Amino acid sequence: MPTKVAVIGAGAAGICVLRHALASEGVFEATAFEKSNKLGGTWVYTDKTETDENGLSIHSSMYKNLRTNIPKEVMNFPGFPFKTDLPSFLSHENVAEYLEDYVDHYGLRDHIQFETVVDSVRPSPESVGSGKVKWEVTYHKVGQPSSAQTNVYDGIFVCSGHYSDPLMPKMKGLENFEGKILHSHNYRSPEEFRDLRVVILGAAASGQDICVDMSPEAKRIYLSHNKTPLSTAIPDNVEQVDGIVEVYKDSVRLSNGQEIECDAILFCTGYLYNFNFLEPECGVKIEESRIVPLYKHLVHTTYPTMFFIGMCKTICPFPQFDAQIQFSLKVLDGRLVLPSKLEMDEETETDYKTRLERGLPHRHAHLMGPRQWEYNSQLTTMAGLEPISPNVQLLYEHVHAIRVKQLTTYKRLNFRLTGPDTFEQY
């Protein structure tokens, strides 16, 4: 009997699960449930904000002019490159088309149930305590609540993404602001900010990228953050300022006491993890943006037949997803034996405490950045997988080093891989 796998979401992570599960020639049987009518998740751009035509909240945080911040030469899934005639930094259309091509190439389309919302997941009561917990998954067709049905699966892959639920920090006086207030989740195009004085709060990847995108249209942009000032070249009408402490009807006060008049505030303050389809019996908690109990940010340590793909932040996503998925499938079919629950929890706790000791805030429990290479190699080594090509780290870090100096221009560069650990820039 094949091992039955349910996949929640048909974004990049979900389709990659299908690819590897179906390559197993009968070991696995896999179905992905996708609430929208398209695959690709984040990469499916829409002008709409808030809700779609079916009343579902808009999933994607993609904006019209976005260019990828990882070059296509290393952003791809291993073994499936982007088309060579594309520039290194891609549009969202390029990536959406790539994911469609991936699905067709590996024959995955018939295994995706579109317009199907997963409402709830719970451990099947009779399997609890057996060591191999099964999962009851209840889902319904969009617009047809009476179509709800429940099936039982041997394994579950949570691939629902984590860039859809805005994190809005509490801010004194925000309710008094009479201008435009937006989170980056709902940012679509710079024209909406034409001739406005905009405070962008947060200078991580989204804050920086949107600042560059918006600068030709906005009158003035104040990039507000509490970090060391960015040392990169920024557009002439952008000024870096301190964090906001209070908001008034048409201005904000900064932590250094300065008051700035503005017409709009754009929150680039990140996102929350949200797995509202997981019932409490699943035993998954989100503690200060930390998903517990997860071994290697991936495997549920109480019920190691549940896997969370793509939860890490600041990574090169597709290659890491691919490694996480192959690792998980090996756990699920018994080819990879995990340490005991106690050992897994201890290792997870040590990782978390080390982060805190090094000064990272709680919310960075799944942050990777430079840690991602060691993490990836732990996964591939433990699971006996081919290591991720050295070029992924080399080119990712090379681009990062250029970005911190040339934020406004680095996406004009192109790259060509010339060997497993060599590339050319042109």
Does residue 34 bind ligand FAD (CB under 6 A)?
Answer: yes
Closest CA to 309 of 73, 11, 77, 4: 11
* Residues 34, 50 contacting (CB under 8 angstroms): no
Least spacing, CB of residue 127 vs ligand FAD, in Å: 22
Cα distance between residue 8 and residue 136, in whole Å:
13
Q: How far apart, in Å, are the Cα atoms of 322 and each of 14, 210, 240, 300, 398? A: 10, 29, 38, 18, 22
**Closest to ligand FAD by CB, 36 or 224:** 36
The correct pick among 22, 96, 108, 118 for binding ligand FAD (CB under 6 A) is 118
Span interacting with ligand FAD, options 58-66, 220-228, 242-250, 416-424, rule CB under 6 A: 58-66
The correct pick among 6, 14, 21, 103 for binding ligand FAD (CB under 6 A) is 14
Least spacing, CB of residue 214 vs ligand FAD, in Å: 14
Both structure tokens of 140: 């319904």
Does residue 328 bind ligand FAD (CB under 6 A)?
Answer: no
The correct pick among 10, 58, 171, 395 for binding ligand FAD (CB under 6 A) is 10
The correct pick among 98, 267, 277, 295 for binding ligand FAD (CB under 6 A) is 277
**Closest to ligand FAD by CB, 177 or 187:** 187
Does residue 207 bind ligand FAD (CB under 6 A)?
Answer: no
The correct pick among 69, 127, 232, 389 for binding ligand FAD (CB under 6 A) is 69
With tokens 């017409």, the residue in question is: 263
Residues in contact with ligand FAD, shown as a per-residue x/- string from 292 to 321 under the rule CB under 6 A: ------------------x------xx---
The correct pick among 7, 13, 30, 221 for binding ligand FAD (CB under 6 A) is 13
Residues 6+ apart with CB under 8 A from 401: none
Cα distance between residue 191 and residue 185, in whole Å:
16
Query: Left, alpha or beta for 129 (phi > 0: left; psi -120 to 50: alpha)?
Result: left
**Closest to ligand FAD by CB, 7 or 254:** 7
Other beta carbons within 10 Å of 233: 11
Cα distance between residue 266 and residue 408, in whole Å:
19
The correct pick among 3, 5, 30, 35 for binding ligand FAD (CB under 6 A) is 35
Does residue 199 bind ligand FAD (CB under 6 A)?
Answer: no
Does residue 68 bind ligand FAD (CB under 6 A)?
Answer: yes
Q: Where are the alpha helices (DSSP H) in 311-389?
A: 317-332, 341-357, 372-383
Q: What are phi and psi of 210, to 5 degrees?
A: -70, -35
Cα distance between residue 133 and residue 305, in whole Å:
6
Cα 11 → chain centroid: 10
**Is the N-terminal amide bond of 216 cis, ω within 30° of 0?**
no
Span interacting with ligand FAD, options 66-74, 300-308, 328-336, 337-345, rule CB under 6 A: 66-74
Q: Where are the alpha helices (DSSP H) in 107-250?
A: 205-214
Q: Sign of the CA dihedral 202, 203, 209, 215?
A: positive
**Closest to ligand FAD by CB, 28 or 139:** 139
Span interacting with ligand FAD, options 61-69, 123-131, 141-149, 349-357, rule CB under 6 A: 61-69
Least spacing, CB of residue 35 vs ligand FAD, in Å: 4
Least spacing, CB of residue 96 vs ligand FAD, in Å: 10
Cα distance between residue 4 and residue 15, in whole Å:
16
Q: Which residues inside 132-171 make contact with ligand FAD, applying CB under 6 A?
A: 159-161, 163
Q: Which amino acid is at 237?
A: N
Cα distance between residue 199 and residue 251, in whole Å:
9
Query: What residues are paired with 239 via a beta bridge?
Result: 222
Q: What are phi and psi of 268, to 5 degrees?
A: -110, 65
Least spacing, CB of residue 270 vs ligand FAD, in Å: 10
* Residues 374, 420 contacting (CB under 8 angstroms): no
Span interacting with ligand FAD, options 67-75, 104-112, 121-129, 287-295, rule CB under 6 A: 67-75
Residues in contact with ligand FAD, shown as a per-residue x/- string from 72 to 111 under the rule CB under 6 A: ---x------------------------------------
Residues forming the site for ligand FAD (CB under 6 A)? 8-14, 33-36, 41-43, 59, 61-62, 66, 68-70, 75, 117-118, 159-161, 163, 206, 277, 310, 317-318
